[in-house]
Structure 1
Amino acid sequence: MKRQWQFLGMGLLALGLTAAQDLVSGRLVPFRRGDKWGYADHSRRVVLPLQYEEAGPFVEEVAWVRQNGLYGYIDGGGNPITPVHFSKASTFYKGRATVTLRGETFDIDAIGSRLTSPPEAAPEEDYLSLGDVVRRQGKLGFRFTVGSAVVPAEYDEIREDYRQLLFVRQGAKWGVLNRKGKITLPLELDTIVASPLNDFRFPIARQQGRYGYLNAEGRWLVAPKYRLAEPFIGDVARVETPDGRAGYIDSSGKEFFE
């Protein structure tokens, strides 16, 4: 099990404990044209009609949609799983989603039935899987378990994405190293956010007030250009442009809004 961390400038905020989510990557991506949302395939061909006020990503073959200010859930064929009557609705996670109906908040399963059992708690365990931190004269370095690479003790903080990247901080700025200890992005980032929603893939980085995404090699999947950026869920992530247009991108960086 791994701890979910959010890297925010000088600080480090623990967001909770969870295993990497076992997601079923949806074949459809939320697609917006004008003020209407539907779903497209990965070639941007509209498959489910543009009829919603907003649409969420498919997780475990279920997605939330919004109409007339209320939320419901549909399956991969566009068929309703629940009525559109929730005032709040979350994306599914490990077989359950949290909804609010007439002021009451509770969880439902993938067929819309109310759940009475609490979600499974993840045991706490915090570690760096790539190697060991080296401390010298108040600074931090890193020694990789595999290979002979050693990162000099010159950083104020070191974290990892639990895959193959190290996030390092000097002062207020973050940079990225690969598992060979080589710099892939210099110390120019204001924040880096790693999420377990997709096994810590595609960390979000902020630079000069704009957000982008990193790829598995620690370079830019999408260079910082968005006003807002949410973690990837499966193979898609929700973003907002500087002028307030919302939409989704896929794991290649392709945008699904016009």
Structure 2
Amino acid sequence: MSGFSRVYFFPKSVALLLLALLLTATSPAQTSSARLIPFRQGTKWGYVDQHRRLVLPLLYDEAGPFVRELAWVRIGPLYGYIDGGGNPVTPVQFTKASTFVRNRATVELNGETFQIDGSGKRLTTPPEPEPETEFLTQGDLLRQNGKVGFRFTVGQAVVPSIYDEIVENYNGLLFVRQGAKWGVLNNKGKLILPLEYDAIRAVEANNFVLPVVEQQGKLGYLAEDGTLLVAPKYAAAEPFVADVARVTTPDGRTGYIDTRGREYFD
């Protein structure tokens, strides 16, 4: 399964990498909270509400997040799409299927890859290009003796030139790096997440909300204020889509969490 969007990854090696999102890509206009959340019990998947009450039965071998009331599901080796009532939108026939992005999903059928719309109809026109994102909108970088600081446009806050890299993010935050470690500054220049993390990953597709953080090979999430939402504990963690994110525990259990860090799997 694969979706197509841009990922901005701030790793140990300093580089800002442009990657393709797997499966969970969506656009800023599509990040509103989903009514139903994928839920796994044993080997079967269904959907629950935010109170963990089962709404759609445990019929599937895998299930994806709802985006605008559309979600992919897997039965055996094949994928299809359902609506918020559990009704089929497409047959379960695809060998690959992505989450919808701007009312498009990418699928594979009989070795051919193409896109479909929200009704399951095959699309022949290419998608509109994503808008370019302008960075450093909150102020200007300051460079001194090989180090970098930051001067905010609004207010009097100045970040001294003590960092090796500064990247502006959503919600007035700055990601900063000293050596191989990353932390977070707020819009007053205060360090609110210590320089203890090996990587911070934020995606433009979901408006940079709730970035993934890495520490000693484990993954967690940042809250909107730049503090920890979920301490690094997962073996795999994907970006949030419609207020849920797909995670895998060190013992191999896969499921979803919500924006409070609550797990929706047993």
Superposition TM-score tier, normalisation by shorter sequence: over 0.9
Matching residue within 17, 22, 43 for 2:29: 22
Contact persistence 1:197–1:231 (CA under 8 A): no
Matching residue within 238, 241, 256 for 1:233: 241
State the shift of 1:145 in Å: 1.4
Contact persistence 1:21–1:94 (CA under 8 A): no
- Which secondary structure does the structure 2 equivalent of 1:115 belong to? coil
- Which secondary structure does the structure 2 equivalent of 1:25 belong to? coil
Specify the code of the residue in structure 1 equivalent to 2:19.
Answer: L
- In the other structure, the counterpart of 2:146 is 138
Question: Where do 5+ consecutive residues of structure 1 fail to align?
Answer: none
Structure 2 residue 19 is matched with structure 1 residue 12: no
Contact persistence 2:26–2:100 (CA under 8 A): no
- In the other structure, the counterpart of 1:37 is 45
State the shift of 1:14 in Å: 2.6
Q: Cα deviations across residues 18-56 of structure 1 (Å, max 9, x unaligned)?
A: 995211421100000000000000011110001100000
- Which secondary structure does the structure 2 equivalent of 1:22 belong to? helix
- In the other structure, the counterpart of 2:205 is 197
Specify the code of the residue in structure 1 equivalent to 2:206.
Answer: N
Q: Cα deviations across residues 130-177 of structure 1 (Å, max 9, x unaligned)?
A: 211111111100011111111110111111223221100111111111
TM alignment of 1:130-169, pairs within 5 A: 130-169=138-177
Normalising by structure 2, report the TM-score: 0.92
Q: Distance in 2 between matches of 1:33 and 1:19?
A: 26
Q: Distance in 1 between matches of 2:190 and 2:159?
A: 8
Contact persistence 2:235–2:248 (CA under 8 A): yes
How has the CA–CA distance of structure 1 residues 180 and 20 changed in structure 2, closer, same or farther, with 3 Å as cutoff? farther
Structure 2 residue 86 is matched with structure 1 residue 83: no
Q: Identity rate of aligned residues, in percent?
A: 62
TM alignment of 1:205-216, pairs within 5 A: 205-216=213-224
Q: Distance in 2 between matches of 1:144 and 1:251?
A: 29
Contact persistence 1:21–1:93 (CA under 8 A): no
Q: Distance in 2 between matches of 1:106 and 1:64?
A: 15
- In the other structure, the counterpart of 1:62 is 70
Normalising by structure 1, report the TM-score: 0.95
- Which secondary structure does the structure 1 equivalent of 2:205 belong to? helix
Return 20-29 or 176-185, whichever deviates more: 20-29
Question: Where do 5+ consecutive residues of structure 2 fail to align?
Answer: 1-5
Cα RMSD (Å) of the superposition? Answer: 1.6
Larger fraction in strand: 1
Q: Distance in 1 between matches of 2:202 and 2:92?
A: 32
Matching residue within 104, 107, 113 for 1:99: 107
